[in-house]
Amino acid sequence: MSDVKPLLGRRIIVTRAREQAHELSAPLAKLGASTIELPTIRIAPLADTRELDNAIGRVHDFDWTIFTSVNGVRYFWDRLAAIGRSSSIFEGIQVAAIGSATAAALRERGRQPDFVPDEFVAERVAEGLGDVRGQRILVPRAEIARKTLPEILTNAGAYVTEIATYRTLPGQPDATAQAALEQGVDAITFTSSSTVRNFMPLANGLMAALSSDVLVACIGPITARAAEEGGLRVTVVAQEYTIPGLVDAVVDAFGQLHSKAKRTSSRAVEDRA
């Protein structure tokens, strides 16, 4: 394992939910960064699971089930366990996963996904599924989620049922994170549109601590769009829409800044010669 620390001395904000922040904080810290966990969202179970339980009971009415996130898988399986069911309910049913992490979460629970799109965004799923005319598709997801995937599938002739499996609520950053921000940061990372949306109400109090050249890094184009719509200047978008992809993008961005600074310094020396 290399001892190179390309993020040494960099202070980076992680806005993921508290219980998931470590998945991003740990690799950043391993590369030398000082991470500030500022959870702008928190993930919670549904207050009322009757609709979800009903959907689980009629999974065999569907041709496809499409999981769009690790949390969707996690809370779906939590309900399976709670009502005494297992992965066997998907026998004969095709299952799709958006993203490698979502696919891995399914495999960990004993279900190999039948389809994972090459590009980890909802818009590519419909293309990969092929002709969905007349097919019945179940989409377990957050209580509040983008409507793009259901709309695309519906326009393609599918009968889509969306079912909430969990809630995304505003996070509650602690005083320690707030104090750390006052010292200044080099980058802020966003891993979903919801992390952006729930950051914005905090922005008035936080932006004073964020210098104008702070690096804003997003896990993918949808998250980046949400950030830009919120008035943030996005400087980094991961090419691979995963946590490792985001880490790589942050490292590359700081590497480019370092190289640019060295070139500028070198030119200044030449000018003085």
User: For the stretch 197-211, what's the b/e string if a residue is b when 16 or more beta carbons lie within 10 angstroms of its beta carbon?
Assistant: bbbbebeeebeebbe
Give yes or no for residue 244 having a pLDDT over 50.
yes
pLDDT at 211: 61
pLDDT at 207: 61
Q: What percent of the chain has pLDDT over 70?
A: 88
DSSP conformational letter for 59? G
Nearby residues of 138 by Cβ (< 8 Å), 6 or more positions away: 55, 59, 62, 64, 65, 66, 161, 163
Single-letter amino acid, residue 226: A
Give mean pLDDT, residues 231-248. Answer: 92
- Look-up: residue for tokens 């030119």? 267
What CATH class is the domain 11-40+172-272?
alpha beta
CATH 3.40.50.10090 domain locations along the chain:
11-40+172-272, 44-169
pTM score of the predicted model: 0.84
What is the per-residue pLDDT for 231?
Answer: 86
Who has greater pLDDT, 263 or 40?
40
Confidence of residue 268 (pLDDT cuts 50, 70, 90): very low
Residues 6+ apart with CB under 8 A from 233: 216
- Mean pLDDT confidence for 235-250: 93
Which pLDDT score is estimated for 33? Answer: 96
* pLDDT at site 210: 64
CATH number for domain 44-169, candidates 3.40.50.150, 3.40.50.10540, 3.40.50.10090, 3.40.50.300:
3.40.50.10090
Are 44 and 25 spatial neighbours (Cβ–Cβ below 8 Å)? Answer: no
Q: Give pLDDT tens digits for 113-138.
A: 999 988 766 667 878 888 999 999 99
Tens of pLDDT, residues 257-266: 755 544 444 4
Q: Report residue 239 as tokens.
A: 């090419």
CA–CA separation, 161 vs 154, rounded Å?
Answer: 10
